[in-house]
A and B are shown apart, each in its own frame.
Chain A
Amino acid sequence: MDKKIGLYICTGCGLEEALDINALTAVGNEEKVAVCKTCQQLCSKEGKELIKQDIENGEVNAVAIAGCSFRVNYDVFDFGPEILVERINLREHVVWTHTPNNEDTQMMAEDYIRMGMAKLKRMELPEPYVPEEEVVKTIMVVGGGLTGMTAALESAKAGYKTVLVEKENKLGGWAANLYKMAPVTEPFTEIADNYIPDIIKEIEANSNITVYTSSKVITTEGAPGMFYVTINQGSKEISEKVGSIVQATGAKPYEPENLGHLGYGKSDKVITQAMFEEMAKNGKLSGVEKIAFIQCAGSRDENHLPYCSAACCVESLKQSLAFKGINPKGIVYIFYRDIRSAGQYEHFYEKAQESGVNFIKYAEIDDVAENSGKMVITLDDVILGEKVEASDFDLVVLANGMVSTASFGEEMVEESEEDEKQDSESQESIANKPPVIQADILNLQYRQGPEIPILKHGFPDSNYICFPYETRRTGIYTAGSVRAPMDLLETREDATGAALKAVQCVENVSVGMALHPRSGDLSFPEFNMNRCTQCKRCTEECPFGAINEDEKANPLPNPTRCRRCGVCMGACPERIISFKNYNVPMVGNMIKNIEIPEEDEEKPRILIFACENDAIPALDMAGINKYSYNAWVRIIPVRCLGSLNLIWINDAMSKGFDGVLLMGCKHGEDYQCHFMKGSELAEYRLSKVSETLDRLGLESERVKATQVTIMDYDKIPQMIEDFTEEIDELGPNPMKDFQ
């Protein structure tokens, strides 16, 4: 279908007062648009009607709105799935940030119109990815403890078939062995009987759930909507096709053998929390009169677990009260550093205090030793400020913390890393990848490794505060204590949320829609395999491990694993990867369509590639605050800085741009990039282009990467000013003459 572009220029919000609108219309006509109209307020009913009419009359099938930012009035300028819309930001990026009725401001507005036209000409309507095979909506949950059972039940209650895989011969996990349970509901003061058997019954009664006990996942192949899972059950091998996965394999207690300094292994009167539960359950606590709990046994200790295990304080409170229930006259001491009974568990702490449990704050436990059949604890008492001995204990319980099941195993070393040890560039690029530990849980048949990458301390957690279900592997969600230390209450909420995410995944995949953060996006990367040189950059750099490789190193894309960030498109040196509405030639043409003044006009030009997620909103905010910045710049939004293809730098330089500035998210520790490492990759690629620039006789300082947050809008004008000064000092791009 031929593209019939309608260019609609809004004259409201100060545009008319600041710009020569007729000249803008002239630019539109030069670009041979089908329709070019102006309106006093395009977002009004009349404005929208004006556009609608042209569409209905068949005069226009692609719309360019020259007015405000795409971040506002999104819904107003939605003309249905058949109509392409491009927003040309003349408000926030031009008239609100630059001198009105000024030659430079006008040139900027005209360039943005040309860029918008170039973009629209290269854009196509995205068509959703529909796999050839059937997309299934079954949810698989790995791990049959409290988290896994909750996730399975919640998925089933929402109407989804669920497969639950548990390695032990029965469901229940760690919590099944508890004598009593900490409260999870108001008034948060009473210990409860173990309710795990009730949950198991509920699972068994639910026809949507298939349970495999004594079972283990051998391999997980495929992608969301079509994961092929091989499960080993004794001598049997079972195949299941599932749509998405919840990994709820939980945590293990910290190895008590490492706690010799707290007396473990030296006396059988020093036990773990789990051993306490077993003794309580089996009536072995009779005769115990005085008991000590030592908190942070291994946790909050740089020699053991640097983190707090989050659940032990409440667990020890519970065990104290359970012990008091068995032996009301029994004496309990809890040796602690901080009692972390957060939220309503404060009531539980109070209950323990009221019940006569003694709390002693320690700085250091020096020794735990047996003396005449009783245990003696030597400690540094914080309140007394001196060494004290606490004695006569019949039992010492070590609150020995938790370790994620995802953390056991060898860290994966990439083949290419071994092969190319000589190649320092390649090593550097791989060095920043999150570690994948071969924990033998999901055994993913992914080019980037068999398990979910680890964030920190062996936990495959999300890096994002706002998006805690991000695992870097689309359609696979970790939940419960496998992903972060948490208590039973948090575990259940986490499991229910993970079940929703699993459901969300299959629902969106089945209609070809992207998941967060580009929720609803229908575009996906297409590979022109004829020109592939098997360089492996796309398969290595995809932040989500979406692309597998065949034995000849050809990329094998899995579109349902893809999150549409465009990192692969930026990585590809042959430029064979493109999206229907976002591709290398599209941005290339935008650059080529910018008018570069002759050198003697002394109007340098600087191209800014700005991340759509943070830098563009920050630039918009600069506009809303009417902060003015240099008018030499031209801004191109990118999905992620990681989608930046180096050819664009070439395009800009050969076009005669004097400098290129990249604005992306913070990287490194606590990175802010929504696609993990896009901004970092862009900077890494830049280090390679500087050599090329040097060879061309262009200073590498002409291209610079910066990190901005969404709140840096007050700093952006100065950042731009600093860069333009640097460019000014370098003088004009000598390539200008060769245009």
Chain B
Amino acid sequence: MVVGGGMSGLTAAVEAAEIGAEVYIVEKRPFLGGRVAQVNQYFPKLCPPNCGLEINFQRIKKNPKINFITNSEVEGISGEEGNFNVTVKTHPRYVNDNCTACGKCVEACPTERENDFNFGMDKTSAIYLPHEFSMPMRYVIDGDVCKGTSCNKCVEACPYNAIDLNMEAKNTVFNVGSIVWAAGWNPYDAENISYYGFGQYADVVNNVMMERLAAPNGPTKGKIVRPSDGKEIENIAFIQCAGSRDENHLHCCSSVCCLASLKHATYVREQYPDAKITIYFIDIRARGKFEDFYNKVESEIGLNFIKGKPGEVKLDNENGKLIVHSEDQLTQTVTDEKYDMVVLATGMAPVTRKSKVPANINYDEDGFVASDSGMPGIYAAGCVKHPMDVASCVRDATSAAMKAFQSAVRGQDNG
């Protein structure tokens, strides 16, 4: 069983299935693809994540050994390596297999919801397709806002009897030989870093919101503008290590944020040839061949680097600009620069920081699953284990699939 249908989970599942293992993917959200589905482009190639997801989805579609269930969470694990019983709770989707994604329901739906796919920066109807590349290609109803049978308009509009507003949550028990825990990460909650003004000032965004702002299928159709008033950007700042490498927040380095901000700088530069782009940093961590990307971005697009960790972001009430208060270690001065927009390079908080695995396994001080989970047959993969970039997740997930396969082999030997 693979828990999590993001890049790590999908990889672990297809790689294991392609050596002959039977695989169940359990995904919490209503679609597979995870966080990378919300990313506009990958560094360093600046290519679209949907390209690789498409290939993996084709591999899943064509492989009868892979089963997946969305809207589902693991509630309990019992047993041992080779013979685990996993209880999975599936939340109601309110839309069944009959759905053809024709879209008639959306025309009928009178209720709106915040679009979590775009981090609340726009709205969808209560019945919605998570996104264009959604797998499964099927609508889903947000049970928190849907008025249910008292409205019933979508049910009447659907030509295929695909909507069942009385659908209920159900529990299923799966017997599996091993478990890959690839639940992934959440952006570190920037509201915890109160002095940066996230949640307080609309123009302070985090780096995952930046992905949506730059994405052609995002809330602004890919145009990067100030969230507060839709104005164009003249002056933008990126604050690195916002919540990472910090004894009050995540202690670790989140590994990807330096490169992500360099990538975001390319997004901004493409749309604004004259905008001033500033990056506040401690170290620029462009390891290995990513150094090429760092050099390329630095030499080609013109960036202003300030070595220092800002102490505060304030709003200038007169002109609506943001003031970043920081030391500049190079000039040994304190600066108060003004920006139209500030992007916080918030790090990766493992999902297990808040939602633990329902089994007795080990974690580190930030909540990452320990390299050795401490329980044979349960293997963490990807960003729930170490903060890492996409290619590293794929390698790690492939390695976890191997470990999980070996558990099954051992199970056979013992049984």
Contact B386 A344 (CB under 8 A): yes
Contact with B along A4-41 (1 / 0, CB 8 A): 00000000111000000000000000000000000011
Give chain B's interface secondary structure class: loop
Most chain B CB neighbours (cut-off 10 Å) among A308, A350, A489, A507: A308
Contact A74 B61 (CB under 8 A): yes
Q: Contacts A457-B289, A484-B288, A672-B51 known; A624 to B402 CB distance under 8 Å?
A: no
Chain A residues numbered 691-739 whose CB sits less than 8 Å from any CB in chain B: 709-711, 713-714
Residues of B within 8 A of A310 (CB): 287-288
Separation of A246 and B395 alpha carbons in the complex (Å): 14
Residues of B within 8 A of A55 (CB): none
Separation of A709 and B398 alpha carbons in the complex (Å): 26
Q: Which residue of B lies closest to A499 (CB)?
A: B402
The yes or no answer to A461 lying at the interface (CB within 8 A) is: yes
Contact B372 A519 (CB under 8 A): no
Separation of A507 and B330 alpha carbons in the complex (Å): 57
Contact A465 B42 (CB under 8 A): yes
Residues of A within 8 A of B405 (CB): 158, 500, 503
Q: Contacts A383-B329, A468-B395 known; A624 to B101 CB distance under 8 Å?
A: yes
Contact A13 B290 (CB under 8 A): no
The yes or no answer to B391 lying at the interface (CB within 8 A) is: yes
Contact B252 A346 (CB under 8 A): yes
Residues of B within 8 A of A285 (CB): none
Residues of A within 8 A of B292 (CB): 306-307, 456
The yes or no answer to B124 lying at the interface (CB within 8 A) is: no
Q: Contacts A44-B98, A486-B288, A493-B395 known; A72 to B137 CB distance under 8 Å?
A: yes
Contact B216 A714 (CB under 8 A): yes
Contact A339 B394 (CB under 8 A): no
Q: Contacts A75-B61, A347-B251 known; A621 to B398 CB distance under 8 Å?
A: no
Contact B15 A504 (CB under 8 A): yes
Q: Which residue of B lies closest to A496 (CB)?
A: B399
Interface residue from B45, B63, B245, B285 paired with A520 (Cβ < 8 Å): B63
The yes or no answer to A517 lying at the interface (CB within 8 A) is: yes
Most chain B CB neighbours (cut-off 10 Å) among A41, A343, A613: A343
Separation of A461 and B330 alpha carbons in the complex (Å): 37
Segment of B199-207, B312-320, B362-370 in the binding face: B362-370
Segment of B52-60, B81-89, B188-196 in the binding face: B52-60
Most chain A CB neighbours (cut-off 10 Å) among B53, B332, B386: B386
Contact with A along B355-381 (1 / 0, CB 8 A): 000000010111010111000000000
Contact A41 B98 (CB under 8 A): yes
Contact with B along A39-80 (1 / 0, CB 8 A): 011011000000000000000000000001001101100000
The yes or no answer to B237 lying at the interface (CB within 8 A) is: no
A543 to chain B, nearest CB (A): 16
Q: Contacts A306-B291, A614-B51, A672-B51 known; A338 to B285 CB distance under 8 Å?
A: yes
Sort A-B residue pairs by CB-CB distance and give the 3 closest, nearest first: A466-B52, A497-B398, A496-B399
Chain A interface residues toward B at CB < 8 A: 12-14, 40-41, 43-44, 68, 71-72, 74-75, 154, 157-159, 184-188, 300, 306-310, 338-347, 350, 382-383, 385, 456-457, 459, 461-462, 464-469, 484-486, 489-490, 492-501, 503-504, 507-508, 515-517, 519-520, 613-614, 617, 621, 624-625, 666, 670, 672, 674, 709-711, 713-714
> Could you write out 29 A-B pairs with CB less than 8 Å apart?
A71-B58, A72-B101, A154-B402, A158-B409, A185-B371, A186-B364, A307-B292, A310-B288, A338-B285, A342-B387, A346-B244, A346-B245, A346-B252, A466-B56, A467-B394, A468-B395, A469-B395, A497-B395, A497-B401, A500-B405, A501-B398, A507-B19, A519-B18, A519-B62, A614-B51, A666-B47, A670-B45, A709-B51, A711-B48
